[in-house]
Amino acid sequence: MKAIVVHEPGGVDVMNLETVDDPVADDKDVVIEVDACGVCTHDILVRDGTLKMGVRMPCILGHEIAGTVVAVGKSVTGFDPGDRVATTQRYHVCGTCRFCRGAHEPLCRQRRFLGDWGLVGGYAQFVAVEFDNVAHVPAGVDLTAASIAACTMGTILNAVRDVGRVRVGEAVLVTGAGGGLGLHSLQLANALGAYVIAQTSSPDKAALMKAMGAHEVIVHARGEDFSSQVKAFTGGEGVDVIIDNVGTPLFEPMRRSLAILGRWLLIGQLDGTFVPFNPAQLFLKGQSMLSVTSTTRDQLADVFELIERGKLEPVVDRSFALDAAREAHLEVEAGRITGRAVIRPNLVDSPTNPSRDDR
């Protein structure tokens, strides 16, 4: 099969289109013909070497996968060739530890992340994934949309509903609101009855943010402190919840934007930098920092139900053929993608003329 293989960290030139062996179904595997694979900032951080933990090269990038089952292992139950499926972000969890049994399988100590650990990723025509990490895609959800369900929507469902417990009437700040995590954060926070403030440095994305559920949009220059605008929108109090899809580049303005007893949901980290921080700045105001990690299979199933009911709209901006994966990374890094870009490994297209999907 054809796949994008990364042998060592670096720029987009380390992404090589290669021919590798087709995956074979192990005992618990389903082999999926990949229809679409989302392009996540996580992929870029693995490719450029910023993210090292759990990475084993050479690797095939990509953890947001949807497609059709073509083969199953002898111990697989519930899946058959021809089924339309999507993955969580992992291809292996043990299934027996306290985290797996407690519906926290993203924290399994034996977890193997798709796209990080060797030649098991979605930038390929086929991938083998253990069936514990796969969910059925409903008939009413197309596979391109399904590919981004786990990472951009399941992670946010985890954050907004299960970890952050956003309540009706609370003020919520969404950072990085024009990206895949951000746009779906706006939708879910709005659906739960929150007053939603979107942060962006991309003025051309403001109208879409409003359409996706933002009550207010803060557009500012990179490096500018936007906390005074947040305070103005909240009567000087700040927000009850921060959905942090950016991390340290916006640390200080986010900290200043958080209200007394506020919850700060840590989801995204766009670079490898650290920040000096005095914990008293949080605990003297009764504030909490909470981490959000990935998506369970149950949360993924819930996302598909929300999509089917029209409560969530998957936002896919552009589709790229496999041999245009380098261009897809460049477009994401430049901030020219609204929502998600996806790679279609079995799509025949020009690498210089990627298709744009209608929303």
Q: Residue 340 sits in a domain of what CATH number?
A: 3.90.180.10
214 & 258 share domain: yes
Q: Are residues 12 and 29 in the same domain?
A: yes
Q: pLDDT tens for residues 1-27? A: 999 999 999 999 999 999 999 999 999
Average confidence score pLDDT of the chain: 93
What's the number of domains the chain is made of? 2
- Residue 19 resides in a domain: yes
261 and 343, same domain (yes or no):
no
Round to whole Å and give the CA distance between 206 and 182. Answer: 12
In a domain, 306, yes or no: no
What is the band of 319 on the pLDDT scale with cuts at 50, 70, 90?
A: very high
Q: Identify whether 217 is part of a domain.
A: yes
Residue 122 shares a structural domain with residue 257: no
What pLDDT does residue 349 have? 47
Are both 274 and 158 inside the same structural domain? yes
Q: Alpha-carbon distance 81 to 63, whole Å?
A: 21
Which of 240, 260, 291 is where one domain is finished? 291
Residue 70 pLDDT level (bands cut at 50, 70, 90): very high
57: pLDDT strictly greater than 90: yes
pLDDT digits (tens, 9 = 90+) for 186-223: 999 999 999 999 999 889 999 999 999 999 999 998 88
Torsion region of 200: left, alpha or beta (phi above 0 gives left; psi -120 to 50 gives alpha): beta
Residues 6 and 144 placed together within one structural domain of the fold: yes
Q: What is the mean pLDDT of residues 305-330?
A: 95
Model confidence pLDDT, tens digit, residues 88-108: 999 999 999 999 999 899 999
**Does the pLDDT value for residue 152 go beyond 90?**
yes
Residue 302 lies in a domain: no
Cβ 73 vs Cβ 25: under 8 Å:
yes
Statement to judge: residues 110 and 13 lie in one domain: yes
Same domain (yes/no): 168, 68:
no
Do 117 and 27 lie in one domain? The reply is yes
CA distance 224 to 221: 5
Angle at 293 between CA 242 and CA 152, to 5 degrees: 75
Residues 159 and 139 in one domain: no
| Same domain flag for 143 and 199 | no
- Does some domain include residue 260? yes
Considering only 111-115, 138-142, 276-280, 303-307, which range has the smallest mean pLDDT? 276-280
27 assigned to some structural domain: yes
Q: Please say which residue of 276, 291, 306 terminates a domain.
A: 291
Shared-domain flag, residues 273 and 336: no
Kindly state whether residue 334 falls inside one of the protein's structural domains.
yes
Domain membership of residue 281 as a residue range: 153-291
**For position 348, what pLDDT does the model report?**
59
The reply to whether 301 falls in a domain is: no
pTM of the model: 0.89
